[in-house]
Chains A and B, each alone.
Chain A
Amino acid sequence: MYTKKAIAKDWRRNWKLYLLMLPVFAFYIIFCYKPMYGIIIAFKDFQPGLGIMQSPWIGFENFIEFFTGNYFTRTLSNTLIISISNLVFGFPAPIILALLINEVVHKSFAKTVQTITYMPHFVSLVVVCGLIRTFVAEDGIINYIITFFGGEASNLLQKPEAFVPIYIISGIWQEIGWGSIIYLAALAGVDQELYEAASIDGAGRLRQTWSITLPSILPTIITLFILRLGQMMNIGFEKIILLYSPMTYETADVISSYTYRVGLQEFRYGYSTAVGLFNSVINFVLIFIANTISRKVNDTSLW
């Protein structure tokens, strides 16, 4: 199959394409694969003065410490809770928005809504967290609404039970518009004749959405869903760190924020790498499961 001759021929014909691919290839080698060698410090008692190679091996000690430590169950379950809620509530939101925008008759109104909803995506995360802090503060707008309806004002960021909702809702607010763009593009490609045929058959708006629009954009939804699964455990620790406090560690402290605290603030790189590696392993397992299910159920999969 791959004889020398064939390869040489292919090279002669396509060498420009290979050249084009080179930067991408280099990017992955330099920024994704080369740093992986650093993972070995998860199995070492890493001492910066000795360097990665010369630090002594300690086997699985770092892992054992994490698994038997006080924070294992808590960070793991928080990570799972936050990422699953993020998926369950965060994923459908842009689809719903896109469907709604699609139904709007006034094109200028639709465009305005679209612009307004995707603006927050471009605001820096630090600023967004500053806004959230102000909104949920004791004298902030959210509490104003709560007291208006007879509730009691309190600093919501100090309440462990309020952390996950704040995290998820603000995430939806920030990404809903941006996320809907791709669905709107898919919606634009749906054959208009299908709608005409359906309305002649007496299908109402809801029925049309359910039976025509959704099936038409289903491949897009599934592809994005799998891609999203791949990032499930990669909870942005920046946002967590900007919002949490010892008051809310109970529900807010996830594996990545714990890694950050232990690694960069307490200077235990080896241990912190072990924890991070564990996070990646779970992440990999999740993608693998999701991908397998997806392939079995509807023939769409990443590999």
Chain B
Amino acid sequence: MKYIISTLLTLAIAVGIASPVQAKRGSDGQLNLLYWQAPSTMNPNLSGGTKELEASSVVLEPLGRYDENGNLLPWLAEVIPTVANGGISKDLTTITWKIKKGIKWSDGSALTADDAVFTYEYCSNPDTGCTQSNYWNDIKSVKAVNSRTVKIEFTVPKPFPYAPFVGYNAPILQKAQFDGCQGAKAQECTEQNFHPIGTGPFKVVDFKPNDVIVFEANPNYRDTSKPAFGKLVFKGGGDAVSAARAVLETGEMDYAWNLQVEPEILIKMEQGGRGKVVSAFGTSVERLMVNFTNPDPSLGDMRSEYIGGNNNRNAHPYLSDYNVRRALSLAIDRQVLVDAGYGKAGKISCNVLPAPAIYASSANDECKTPNVAEANRLLDAAGWKRGSDGVRQKGGVRISILYQTSTNSVRQATQAFIKEMWKQIGVETELRNLSASVFFGGDISSPDTYQKFFTDIEMYTNNFSGTDPQTYMSNWTCKEMAQKRNKWGGNNMPRWCSPAYDALSAKMSISSAMKDRIRLTKEMNDMLMQDYAMIPLIHRGNVSAHSNTLSGVRMNPWDSELWNIADWTRK
């Protein structure tokens, strides 16, 4: 008898060990994340940057979100509404979302459509100062048809209506908690802003702004076996290199976000074998903006102003010459820039719109190979002769470029390379770098903002969220030009204007067929690239690092990097 029992016991133990460990909620202990830019609030609607959106995404969830390939998945909703399944009306003005059954807030109460309606009212209230309010544009009304159905009515037909309640920019807030915090009161609801109640896998235990956030597993999360980690510590501060070090060399942290670091440093750290560097490509393109207007300081008020129908009164002295722009682009060896500054986290980009792949044009790929000889030939033929100092000039105008960007070691390296490359075609360059909060600040009294563009060339990265490029491509229409009269609030920094482009953009806003949208996007992209309104350099990916003991990470450039943190486990 004893023999049988012990055999059975041994068998049971053996089976228990051999079978895959069924993770229980909290069984993997503590997870440590390191975001070197520390979040200052947990309310994404009052966020100061991507870091707040990431932090809040483990607590607050949207109806639908993007996976790592850009596919739209139903998250809190049952299905993604489409015209085919009746979720979107045929005239494209309404969309109806149906919420899954049985979803509870972390305090035990049920999620209802009223919470969704409240979220819309919270952000669209003009006194709230909501940073995500452009996700709630063109909405006529949001109604709760029943406790689990939300109906959104737009003021114009929307071929792509997936902005509200989709992604980490527009999650649902709990009405019971945030009621009374709308409008001007949003500033004072510190308790709610720091400890939002959500449906996500974690809930906030302690929030120290710009320092550390402590979470614990949400007891009312819909999947009882998840999350595998009982405690989550979200530490912030410091710089990117030491963040990489904490994961890859000392192992104190499990995950580090946004490692904008030279590739050789990351490679060396990875050799230690404790962690892995992962990257994913979204829509970010580092590009050179070309100023089509004259930024000469002696023009005073008229610096970088677009005057006249075909801009012949304040045209840039040399950048308005197509040959000069093309020569500048031909002289750049983009592979060197990628190797020196980005490594795995960058690819050459010849388009201002590199992704999603269906929209990427292949008409401009000649930029992948530099051609200094052709650049020199073009400039010679156009009459730009080298002077005694080696700098090309024509009619008293020297090609001397003032090139600005923000302070960042990789950007400064890129500047150094490009300066040297342009020297080979007889172009003189002066480099300038400015603190990011000044360059991107938009302060009207500062002459150094990227909107004012008081230099000849500027460099930065732009992108768009989600997968639909319509708003992004409309950035370069004539009415978007950043000028004094709109307080430099436009998105068209090069001050490039083409009626043909404007027509294409207008057409895209009324085309609903996918093949038409793809064709129009490619045409607009090619028009910009072939006139060298901008010179694209690098398609930048997001780079993070995680410990080798962590599994389940699916690096996502379209949504939060922590989108599937409920599925992460310790190996």
Q: Do A and B come from one complex?
A: no
> Which residues does B use to contact A, with CB under 8 Å?
none
